[in-house]
Amino acid sequence: MIMSEKCKQHVDSCRFCWMCHHICPIGNATGQERNTARARALGISLVNREAIELEEIMDNIYECCTCGACVHDCTTGWDPVMFTKETRLQAALEGKLPEYINTLVANCLETGNAYGKTETCSTLADAIKAHSAKKDTLLFLGVDAKFMACEQANKAIKVLDKAGVDFTVLENEAPSGVQLDFLIGAANETKAQMEACAKALGEFKTVVVYDPNDAKAIKQLYKEYGIEVNANVVTYTSFVAGLLKDGKLEAKNSGKAVVFQDPYQLSRDLEETEEAREIVMSYAVLSEMLLNRAETVWAGNILMAQYMPEVIKLVAKRRIFNATSVGANAIVTACVAEYVSLKAVAEDVEIISLEDLILGE
């Protein structure tokens, strides 16, 4: 397998190391050694040494959620996410992707989303149509919200309406490219999708990005790939926190006790941790989970649930266990994918979005 020397160095360093063994959310959920960064490095190392074929490890390569907990925890600076994504890219170039991944990639290229969806729910469609006029501010919903959680996307719109914000929502929103980046890394197709999105976003002065996954892509990955966005790009959480500070949203604290689930894209990648807390504390009484902010534990997503649904359920259940272990019975989320993931398995714990708090729903 063709792999950069930098990645080979990281692979050969990680394959003997147990330092991050305890913090992989998927490894902890399954209890399987194969789901650790070390095991993944061992597999890639065997391919590099021509002991096994690339196809033999690809299922394992796609069991990584790329949350970066291993990278954050590594005191020696090794990066399992980097060599995992490079392996995915090489497999795509060599035509050795698993068939279920090929299907998701094809959907991204044909419909703009991995789910192959072309229409959203009627309620959201009506809300988008009501905000179709061109304004200076764009609310960028993202494919997860638009096609897989349209009720939450509609609530995101309602919050800005409640604050009196004048904004646009695009009916034909260009995908950010973040799903292709997860599936096949920095391929030409990924960059082309990102460039098209950047061009569309550049038509606005301010872009409010609802989904932290898209926010990470647009604010961080685009720069890494040399793609410029000619707009002021802000996260939905920071924008709404600003609305509260400016008095455009009137908050009434219900006294409800909650904990907050930090999205790793905000807390680790974009180093944004306090804005969401400012929102939560305006409407509820906040306590912290033991692992929070940059130490957060990923709670699952919608994309990986397409090909490993039972494992994603285990991941979400384990994060709920983390919350109940500190006495919590309500979890507030700021990521639509984690909201959907947690909601799917929650029994005795209430899952609440930031929008639910603000709207009192």
What pLDDT is stored for residue 1 in this prediction?
86
In 3D, which of 270, 151, 256 has the Cα closest to residue 222?
Answer: 270
State the fold for domain 122-242: Rossmann fold (3.40.50)
What count of other Cβ atoms lies within 10 Å of the Cβ of residue 99? 6
Q: Which residues lie across from 139 on neighbouring strands?
A: 208
What pLDDT is stored for residue 21 in this prediction?
85
What pLDDT is stored for residue 177 in this prediction?
98
What pLDDT is stored for residue 18 in this prediction?
84
- Each domain of the chain, given as residue ranges in start order, spans 5-97, 122-242, 252-359
Task: With a cut of 90, say whether residue 123 has pLDDT above it.
Answer: yes
What pLDDT is stored for residue 175 in this prediction?
98
- Give the DSSP per-residue string, 284-320: SEEE--SS-GGG------SSGGGT-HHHHHHHHHHHH
Cβ atoms 221, 259 nearer than 8 A: no
* All residues at 6 or more sequence positions from 320 whose CB lies less than 8 Å from its CB, including other chains: 331, 342, 345, 346, 349
Greatest alpha-carbon pair distance for the chain in Å reads 63
pLDDT tier, 15 (very low <50, low <70, confident <90, very high otherwise): confident
* Averaged pLDDT score across all residues of the chain: 97
Q: 203-228: per-residue pLDDT in tens?
A: 999 999 999 999 999 999 999 999 99
Q: What strands lie across the sheet with 206-209, from one edge to the other?
A: 167-168, 137-140, 206-209, 232-235
State the fold for domain 252-359: Rossmann fold (3.40.50)
Q: Taking each helix axis from N to C terminus, what angle separates 336-345 and 150-162, rounded to the nearest 10 degrees? A: 130
CA distance linking residue 105 with residue 183, whole number of Å: 7
Q: 296-316: per-residue pLDDT in tens?
A: 999 999 999 999 999 999 999
* All residues at 6 or more sequence positions from 51 whose CB lies less than 8 Å from its CB, including other chains: none
Cβ atoms 146, 173 nearer than 8 A: yes
CA distance linking residue 308 with residue 101, whole number of Å: 11
Task: With a cut of 90, say whether residue 139 has pLDDT above it.
Answer: yes
With b for 16 or more beta-carbon neighbours within 10 A and e for fewer, the 318-334 pattern comes to bbbebbeeeebebbbbb
Do domains 122-242 and 252-359 share one topology? The answer is yes
With b for 16 or more beta-carbon neighbours within 10 A and e for fewer, the 18-27 pattern comes to eebbebbbbb
Task: With a cut of 80, say whether residue 361 has pLDDT above it.
Answer: no
